Structure 1
Amino acid sequence: MSILVKNTRKPNSNSQRAAWEEEPGVVAKAGKFLILGAVVLAVLGPLYTIVLTSVSSQATITQAGGLVLIPGEITFAAYQQILSGGVVTRAVLVSVGVTATGTLLSMVVSVLCAYGLSRPGSFAHTPILFTLLITMFFSAGIIPAYLLVSSLGLINTYWALILPSCISVFNIIILRGFFMGIDRGILDSARMDGASDWRTLTQIVLPMSKAVTAVIALFYGVGYWNAFFNAVLYINDSAMNPLQVVLRSYVLQGVTVPGQIDVGQGAAASPALQMAVIVLAMVPILIVYPFVQKHFTKGVMIGAVKG
């Protein structure tokens, strides 16, 4: 009779761990804390200075030498000036309209294109994909682009701020890769139940793709909000300029914004007004990002190496 003895010894868990899975020591933790702390200070420090300067009085700014680090007299006069009408207020409305319309149009075209290219046997699948990939590496240049926009009659129109940058081939490739990763059996079941391609896309594919679509929409939105080069090239009427062009002229070039309210000598070019315009340009992204952040990590990992 053989007796089976159960080995009750636990394997050495430390020997089975990879080097990067080991518990970090005190020195490693302190090093990480210092590095992350330095990064946080490098990001929040300028932001703190900008916001504090924008709500400081002219006397406090003059005493501080231009940028306020220690709070003094607080006033919101700069925000009242830029939001009471004039160029800045109109530029904000232009940027909001262009960003909302452009993001919606870009997402619709990108999703439709990516879904069509993700379906095997779709019409002209390979030539269209090859043509799109070529545009990622070769571009005609500024002059041919300007001539094309001019020939289409888009000069000095809001569409000139949207259509030239409406499509990002990189975003289409990301969406296509995610759509191709969806279980083929789910799509086949929908087709067997009589669902059309449009219904499959809207009721099955898109609900399963919230993470990647949220991230791509964020990419498009940030791109439209921060864009200024198209306005410099294609917009001749200063009243149609988006906020970033006003910000560039007002802050970087030190130009007084035409049509802005002036409450005293030098007030139109004060650092408080400049910093207030910068804060106004950052606020929409800071508001939108927390709602997309939960999808961001998963979305940006699409196409990464699987482990």
Structure 2
Amino acid sequence: MELKARKKISLFNILNITGFVLFSILVIYPFWQTIVLSFSSAESASSLGVNLWPDQWITDAYKYMFSNDNIGIAYLNTIIRTVAGTFLIVTFTILAAYPLSKKDLPYRNVFTIFFLIAMFFSGGMIPDYLLIKNLGLIDNSLALILPSAVNVFFIIIMRNYFMTIDKGLEESALIDGANYFIILTKIIIPVSKPVIATVALWAAVYHWNEWFHALVYIQDDAKTVLQIVVRDMLTAMDLSNNQNAQVGGGGMASSELLLSNVRAATVMISIGPIVLIYPFVQKYFIKGIMIGSLKG
């Protein structure tokens, strides 16, 4: 019996490991292929087949992307927007979620319904634009941060997480004379790292990728964000040609660069910082979203 059980366990482990290895390859290969394509020459990129390693590492696509004078300031603007926007979202989410997690909060259900209505219904693009205009935020970087500072979905997730925290921690702190602000900053926030990291990651990804508000509200090129500059550069190319249409620029002959190279470089430039940040918060991500989504 033990021998049969060991054979079954061994077979299960082999199949399990094999399945995960194949799945990992399916996930990693497109990302690696994009990296290889962004550093490949035009001849290598245009050849058919699987390219796991470029014939030679060429940075022409990146030189072309960074030949735009605005891309440096746009990158800096995007970083500043992402950091400031993430900080505001996390701060307001905590300040709204903590009171709503208290069952003895007066009119708690009324406030919750109010938040939910705002979550499912909005005024639309024109009222949003008129509001931003009346606030004097047209062509102001605050227009990219303030409208998204409060996210009801994040508040609900964090509120549910706070409700799972042992009430004895707060009660003992209250007996020792601590007020709710001290309890929040010294007790609740330190034990809520998983859900805070999860919300921070969501907020950072949103601000890094979001470009529509910059397109509508920002007029000065010195205040624009990376996604707009990249979008304009790709739009300026001759998209009527096929995917491997040759493009020139940045001091290079048109035969030295393919549109597919530039698109691959664009992907790497756009997602690079987020990919680097994710491993540091990944260990909190699953725990934060699962616990924060269970208790209502």
Paired position in structure 1 for 2:279? 290
Are residues 70 and 43 of structure 1, via their aligned partners in 2, closer, same or farther at CA, if it must alter by over 3 Å? same
Are residues 98 and 255 of structure 1, via their aligned partners in 2, closer, same or farther at CA, if it must alter by over 3 Å? farther
Match of 2:151 among 164, 168, 182: 168
Paired position in structure 1 for 2:261? 272
Question: Are residue 51 (structure 1) and residue 35 (structure 2) matched?
Answer: yes
Paired position in structure 2 for 1:110? 93
What is the CA-CA distance between 1:81 and the residue it aligns to? 5.1
Matches of 2:222 and 2:42, distance apart in 1: 28
Question: Are residue 262 (structure 1) and residue 250 (structure 2) matched?
Answer: yes
What is the CA-CA distance between 1:111 and the residue it aligns to? 0.4
What is the CA-CA distance between 1:272 and the residue it aligns to? 3.2
Deviations 1:269-302 (A, max 9, x none): 7543432222011111111111101111211112
Give the secondary-structure state (helix, strand or coil) at the position aligned to 1:164.
helix
Are residues 250 and 80 of structure 1, via their aligned partners in 2, closer, same or farther at CA, if it must alter by over 3 Å? closer
Give the secondary-structure state (helix, strand or coil) at the position aligned to 1:262.
coil
Matched to 1:294, the amino acid is K
Paired position in structure 2 for 1:129? 112
Are residues 25 and 247 of structure 1, via their aligned partners in 2, closer, same or farther at CA, if it must alter by over 3 Å? farther
Q: Which runs of 5+ in 2 are unaligned?
A: 3-7, 239-247
Question: Are residue 301 (structure 1) and residue 290 (structure 2) matched?
Answer: yes
Are residues 232 and 24 of structure 1, via their aligned partners in 2, closer, same or farther at CA, if it must alter by over 3 Å? farther
What is the CA-CA distance between 1:221 and the residue it aligns to? 0.7
Range moving further from structure 2, 294-303 or 95-104 = 294-303
Aligned alpha-carbon RMSD (Å): 3.1
Deviations 1:66-100 (A, max 9, x none): x9665212123443554577222222111100000
Matched to 1:148, the amino acid is L
Which structure has the larger Rg over C-alpha atoms? 1
Matched to 2:170, the amino acid is L
Deviations 1:13-58 (A, max 9, x none): 9xxxxxxxxx679599648845x55543443232222211221234
What is the CA-CA distance between 1:233 and the residue it aligns to? 1.8
Give the secondary-structure state (helix, strand or coil) at the position aligned to 2:291.
coil
Matches of 1:181 and 1:209, distance apart in 2: 10
Give the secondary-structure state (helix, strand or coil) at the position aligned to 1:90.
helix
Deviations 1:190-232 (A, max 9, x none): 1111111111000011111111111111111111111111112
Tell me if the contact between 1:211 and 1:295 (Cα under 8 Å) persists in the aligned partners. yes
Give the secondary-structure state (helix, strand or coil) at the position aligned to 1:301.
helix
What is the CA-CA distance between 1:59 and the residue it aligns to? 4.3
Tell me if the contact between 2:143 and 2:217 (Cα under 8 Å) persists in the aligned partners. yes
Matches of 1:133 and 1:243, distance apart in 2: 32
Aligned residues between the structures: 280
Deviations 1:238-289 (A, max 9, x none): 33221122233334x3549xxx972124378754343222201111111111
Paired position in structure 1 for 2:166? 183
Range moving further from structure 2, 165-174 or 117-126 = 117-126
Match of 1:204 among 166, 181, 187: 187
- Identity rate of aligned residues, in percent? 35
